Amino acid sequence: MGRAAISQFLILSNSSPRLSSSLYCGGLRSKYLKRPGFIRHNRAMNGDNGAGFRCCCSVSLSQPAAPETSSSSVRKRIVSGVQPTGAVHLGNYLGAIKNWIALQITLPYDTQQLSKATRNTAAIYLACGVDTTKASVFVQSHVRAHVELMWLLSSATPIGWLNRMIQFKEKSLKAGDENVGVALLTYPVLMASDILLYQSDFVPVGEDQKQHLELTRELAERVNYLYGGRKWKKLGGRSGAIFKVPEPLIPPAGARVMSLTDGLSKMSKSAPSDLSRINLLDPKDVIANKIKRCKTDSFPGLEFDNPERPECNNLLSIYQLISSKTKEEVAHECRDMNWGTFKTLLTDALVDHLHPIQIRYEEIISDPAYLDGVLTEGANKAGAIADATLNNVYQAMGFLRR
């Protein structure tokens, strides 16, 4: 089963994301949280609620590869990833690219197109504004420590935890047993490896990834309990926790973008009709046609949060996110508009917003040496951090190293 996710590091500074101290999902909270003397500390920082927090992105190889006492002066690391399909739409941009929802390839794919799609995805994300002087972008399969740690974590993962994963149940039911590989079942363990390798402080999550992040947190606590502390010290280690337990980074409200043809379904590249989504590389006339033909309703005026008007709420939310206006400003501006007037407004806003991204994408994809250099440098930086964590895990688990 192939896998070549695009990943990046972010180190938080200046202001803070909104934190959630617990994501109890599917009964995964383990007995290790309850044992005497085991206290989990939430790392909170002063700042705004996350709706407009600023990320200063970098990789620091001198940063310790293990937990230390946190303070407001210590920069925080975010690790996240995306599926390299090569086709990135508006929902990915407003949700995944801005909030970095972690995804992996776990279902059948076109082997002839994977390499090209990986490069295209990297180019699109760079075009969207990822600053390579402050963030390390790399192809996950270029850092072998990911699969090594996954194997080690698998030995500590109860099969019952994986059987409860909602995405596995839904995707396996949809695809059928003959089309579902073991990778779909074990993918949450690989996702945990992706996160824990880099001693991440925060992980951006959407609704469909909360359960997987909770499993990651559970695995970190389980491994720390089974192999960390004095047990690790007896094997020559430094003692203490092997992994940081990452906190969820909750995206701003309204970042979930729905289909243009069904306001109750998430915008998705797997939807049969291309009319259901705005692709970031769609030309102006295609965007105009999709907005012109998108589903609306017959109610007068435009408004947010009316459960009887999901399409109206979705289109207004897209305009709000693209225009960087507040919800109140958009509600006031558009409340008396008809659909014809608003669709023209939305089309112009989308075209203006996406045009610079499309220009930058063409520049990047036409310079393969630059793109390869970015991915190579990112993998080298990531590998140095990942190897330090992996060596600690091997030592704590008692492996004889070469």
From 98, 171, 295, 327, the catalytic residue: 171
Q: Got the DSSP string for 381-393?
A: HHHHHHHHHHHHH
Tokens found for residue 392 = 């600690």
Q: Tell me the Ramachandran region of residue 209: left when phi exceeds 0, alpha when psi lies from -120 to 50, beta otherwise.
A: alpha
With beta carbons less than 8 A apart as the criterion, state whether 26 and 396 touch: no
Q: Are 17 and 82 a contacting pair, CB within 8 Å?
A: no
Q: Which two tokens stand for residue 74?
A: 């210590």
Q: Is 138 helix (H, G, I), strand (E, B) or coil?
A: strand
Neighbours of 215 (CB within 10 A): 23
The most distant pair of C-alpha atoms in the chain lies apart, rounded to whole Å, by: 72
Indicate which residue of 231, 269, 284, 327 is catalytic.
269
Helices of type H across 69-110: 90-91, 98-99
Q: What are phi and psi of 299, to 5 degrees?
A: -70, 150
From the number of C-beta atoms within 10 Å of its C-beta (0-12, 13-18, 19+), residue 345 rates as middle
- Annotated catalytic, 31? no
Order of strands, sheet of 247-249, starting from the edge strand that comes earlier in the sequence: 137-139, 6-12, 76-82, 202-204, 247-249
Token pair, residue 227, equals 């192999």
DSSP code for 203 = E
Given the residues 266, 284, 325, 327, the one annotated as active site: 266
| Catalytic residue flag (residue 269) | yes
How far is the C-alpha of 251 from the C-alpha of 205, rounded, in Å? 7
Annotation marks residue 343 as catalytic: no
* Cβ-count burial 64-76 (b if 16+ within 10 Å, e if not): ebbbeeeeeebeb
Active site residues: 171, 266, 269
